[in-house]
Structure 1
Amino acid sequence: MAQVKLVSECFIKPNLEAVSEASKKPYNLSPMDIDTLCANYMQKGLMYTKSYDAGFQTEVFLLKLKHSFSLSLVHFYPLAGRFATQTFPDEHACCIFLDCVNSPGARFIHASLDSTVSDVLSGTDVHPAFRSFYDLGERAINYDGHTNALLSLQVTELVDGIFIGFSFSHSIGDGTSLEHFITTLSEIFNSVGNSLQNWEKLTYVPISREPIFEPFFPDGYGPVLKLPYVEPSEFLSRENPASIREKIFQFSRVSMSRLKAMANNGVPNDGNRNNEISSFQALSGLIWRAITRARKLEPEMETNCSLTMNLRPRLIPPLSQEYFGNYFSRIRASCKVGELLNTGLGWGSLLLHASLKNVDDKAIIESFRKYCEAPIIGQLANDSAFFGVNFVKIVGSHRSNLFGTEFGMGRPVAIRTGNVNEVEGRVSVSQGSEGAGSVDLEVSLAPSTMTALEMDEEFMSFVTLG
């Protein structure tokens, strides 16, 4: 199998004269930022086919992308920084913050692979090469942002295509924030024109959605949180990659509508549609049932399913999507295996629906308040206390619109995640190539479990083939 080869790499910074003085000050981390310091970097990438009819030139494309990257960092200046730690030995405490000035910048990598787009996209299993399409396959946890770039962009040139992979520290933002940066980079790339002389003159480009860097704290707390550690060894932990298969399952708009109707069939309704199961909740219930069945668990065993949610619209008043940082939470539904499998499709979906309904402004503020009173760094590598046994962990958003992100080569032909998905039972969600209403699932399972899932009649009856 062909290997990804490094061509060049550098660090990218914005023109400091274009960056506001306020943006250069130390940036304090929010409770959710701190809680994810032992989690893996987020990785998301877009595959494009080269536009030979438009006279595609790799060197010109790379120069334009680098300059657009620099212009984007004017607006997202913290992403060019590094983490720093201040210790308080007398209190056995430390404070971790973002140093926006003393940093070489964000990382830019140019790599190559002697394969075609069809080579790496053929079949529905995720091709092993994708693991090297982000930071050359290097693994990192968010705490490594003390020395590693908080944001890196890798351009991997294939024989007939380009893959743009983003590695992004989860301790500076969630999936909504990463998508905000990627769409802004695309917006700037498409607005600067095609003249090299014009690019060199530009130090600032206005954007349609300015990010808001204001870490969220409940009243009476922040902006600095002291953690009960002095040495990193007191809290650092890392995951050992599991032996898994990763596979893409696609669901069309028609299939999602059919799934929603089936899940709601027989679900009691109070007349106000308070119990109505959404299409995404129906899909989550379906994959939970199918993976649980594929694992061949005993009926009396426990099974768990977790979802991530965007908290911005649930706060009062709601925060706009431009608020940059970690504004997400996880909910979990639990039951016996027999209860999940011996009832209808809507039963498990309704459990998830009920858990989501319980997350309101009051619950969010209370959870943040409790964290601020006793802050710790979450040990996500071994977090069975939350995810439970026999878990299905669903992450990402079906509302993501990265298929609308263009870099001079038309729409991407595929969206992929990186090696952060190498956790057994993890399901990564993104909007399908068909657009709103369609969904792609990137599923990670033990090989034997994946084989059983592929043979599950209920699950596969909703999957779009070909």
Structure 2
Amino acid sequence: MPMKVDVLESTLVAPSEKTPRFGLWLSNLDLAAPRSHTPLVYYYPAPMPGGGEDFFSPHRLRTALARALVLFYPLAGRLGVDDGGRLQVNCNGEGALFVVAGADCAGEDLFGNYEPSPELRRMLVPFAPAGDPCLLAMFQVTFLKCGGVVLGTGIHHGTMDGIGAAHFIQTWTGLARGLSVSEACPSPPFHDRTLLGRRSPPHVDLDHPVYSPAYLTGHPRHFETRLYSVSPKLLADLKSQCAPGVSTYGAIAGHLWRSMCVARGLAPDSDTRLRVTANVRHRLRPQLPRQFCGNAILRDLVTVKVGDVLAQPLGFLADSIRKGLEDIDDAYVRSVIDYLELESGDGGLQAAPGQLMPESDMWVVSWLGMPVYDADFGWGAPRFVAPAQMFGSGTAYVMQRANRDDGIAVLFALEPQYQQHFEDAFYGE
């Protein structure tokens, strides 16, 4: 039976103090990010008996949100354009959307066998069109019949990457717990994106096929998403097949890549590409401030023959991924910024609607090290955090579990006809 969600209240929450009013310039990396909201869900189980009189009090959350928006004031603004037609954030303090809802289902119904979907996103995360002017931050607290709560968040990707969003959530939750502003946010966000401006004159020194619209030549394919558990034993087994010191991401991404090639039956003499992302805050010279609150994530492709993916040891793939990530340095970042400037005119190359990665490729996003389970509003940490929706086949998220002793989890979207082959390959080794 479909889940029913009733909206109980919907309000705009403005910053609790006066904030700067101006047009915030967006970098080419901001403009190249998806022009949509990133939908996430945080599940909080019901409190112990007697411990939840004000469990997820909307008033407490709204009050803390208003205070957090003083520091993260771009989220209270609207997406607009400058005099030249370039996208910018109009910092006007109009506020973020805050919704309170009730659902007729229990947490186990949603998260016992979790599968993100457009339907789940529509029910648990507020939706607003990405037009102009556009709300930049939306939050929904949904009370479940089991006594638990789901927090759905939608932060526009053009305003900040996942690291910036996690910084905001940490601040909001700290303020809700009663911390002072300086305690909740000891390093205030840095909003100036001009450190990621183009060179004069712009010049492209390297190839950047991942940013070319010609790369996304695939078309929408029906897919299903599964959550795969990686036990500490399986992770140790994978790492033992690689060189000492291999990263968890490198071992898991390589194993996913191989399992995908097996499942899809790719031709051994063809190329397959792994799409990787890297935080470049510390890779630039000089480095960006750690609290930089824009988009400072870059993409690249690691290309290998399918035959090598299948025949070479896992360490070969992990090493290829490591080398690909190491190549993303200051020169690479500056070249990407200039490429976007020269190729798009407004700095933001966007794929045509419906275009996706070719079936030979996959994209593995790492949430390892992201403090998503620190999101404690005062009633305990979430039990589960994940994307509410996946946006294309071949996309995977590698995530920590709430209890680190439980290992890690992989969300992977794949065509249904390949699911069983993938699972056999993923767990068969």
Distance 2:181 2:380 in 1: 26
Distance 1:60 1:312 in 2: 34
* Equivalent residue number for residue 196 of structure 1: none
| 1:48-447 superposed matches below 5 A | 48-57=44-53, 61-86=57-82, 88=84, 94-101=85-92, 104-123=94-113, 125-126=115-116, 130-136=120-126, 138=127, 140=129, 144=130, 146-160=132-146, 161-191=148-178, 207-215=185-193, 216-218=195-197, 242-264=221-243, 277-374=246-343, 375=345, 376-381=347-352, 389-419=359-389, 421-435=390-404, 438-447=407-416
Instruction: Tell me the SS of whatever aligns to 1:110.
Output: strand
Q: Would you say the 8 A contact 2:136–2:155 is kept in 1?
A: yes
Query: What whole-Å deviation, never above 9, does each CA across 1:27-82 have from its counterpart, x for those lacking one?
Result: 1101111122x543212221001214344246871110011111100000010111
Distance 2:8 2:370 in 1: 31
Q: Would you say the 8 A contact 1:33–1:173 is kept in 2?
A: yes
Q: Would you say the 8 A contact 1:111–1:155 is kept in 2?
A: yes
* Offset at residue 145 of structure 1 (A): 5.5
Query: What whole-Å deviation, never above 9, does each CA across 1:141-193 have from its counterpart, x for those lacking one?
Result: xxx2523310111111111210111101110111101111111111111016x
Letter in structure 1 aligned against 2:187: R
> Which residue among 432, 456, 460 is the counterpart of 2:427?
460
- Distance change (3 Å), C-alpha of 1:301 and 1:317: same
* Equivalent residue number for residue 225 of structure 1: none
Q: Would you say the 8 A contact 2:23–2:89 is kept in 1?
A: yes
Cα RMSD over matched residues?
3.0
Instruction: Tell me the SS of whatever aligns to 2:172.
Output: helix
Distance 1:151 1:125 in 2: 24
Letter in structure 2 aligned against 1:98: V
Distance 1:381 1:394 in 2: 21
Distance 2:94 2:405 in 1: 39
Q: Would you say the 8 A contact 1:4–1:129 is kept in 2?
A: no
Distance 1:400 1:436 in 2: 17
Q: Matched residue pairs, number?
A: 409
* Offset at residue 339 of structure 1 (A): 2.0
Q: Would you say the 8 A contact 2:81–2:87 is kept in 1?
A: yes
* Offset at residue 112 of structure 1 (A): 1.8
* Offset at residue 440 of structure 1 (A): 2.1
Distance 1:358 1:436 in 2: 33
Q: Does 1:26 align with 2:23?
A: yes
- Distance change (3 Å), C-alpha of 1:415 and 1:240: farther
Instruction: Tell me the SS of whatever aligns to 1:303.
Output: strand
What 5-or-longer segments of structure 1 have no aligned partner? 89-93, 193-201, 223-236, 265-272
* Offset at residue 326 of structure 1 (A): 0.3
Q: Would you say the 8 A contact 1:6–1:112 is kept in 2?
A: yes
Letter in structure 1 aligned against 2:27: S
* Equivalent residue number for residue 228 of structure 1: none
Instruction: Tell me the SS of whatever aligns to 1:312.
Output: coil
TM-score (norm 2): 0.86
Distance 1:169 1:349 in 2: 32
Letter in structure 1 aligned against 2:310: L
Distance 2:391 2:412 in 1: 9
* Offset at residue 99 of structure 1 (A): 0.7
Q: Would you say the 8 A contact 2:219–2:354 is kept in 1?
A: no
Q: Would you say the 8 A contact 2:241–2:315 is kept in 1?
A: yes
Distance 2:230 2:56 in 1: 37
Q: Does 1:46 align with 2:15?
A: no
* Offset at residue 126 of structure 1 (A): 4.4
Q: Would you say the 8 A contact 1:133–1:163 is kept in 2?
A: no
Letter in structure 2 aligned against 1:213: H
Distance 2:273 2:174 in 1: 40
Instruction: Tell me the SS of whatever aligns to 1:410.
Output: coil
* Equivalent residue number for residue 4 of structure 1: 5
Letter in structure 2 aligned against 1:9: S
Letter in structure 2 aligned against 1:260: K
* Offset at residue 253 of structure 1 (A): 4.0
Instruction: Tell me the SS of whatever aligns to 2:241.
Output: helix
Instruction: Tell me the SS of whatever aligns to 1:73.
Output: helix
Distance 1:77 1:314 in 2: 27
* Equivalent residue number for residue 226 of structure 1: none
Letter in structure 2 aligned against 1:149: L
* Equivalent residue number for residue 227 of structure 1: none
What 5-or-longer segments of structure 2 have no aligned partner? 202-215
Letter in structure 2 aligned against 1:176: I
Distance 2:248 2:155 in 1: 29
Distance 1:373 1:87 in 2: 20
* Equivalent residue number for residue 207 of structure 2: none
Tell me which moved more, 316-325 or 372-381.
372-381
* Offset at residue 413 of structure 1 (A): 0.9
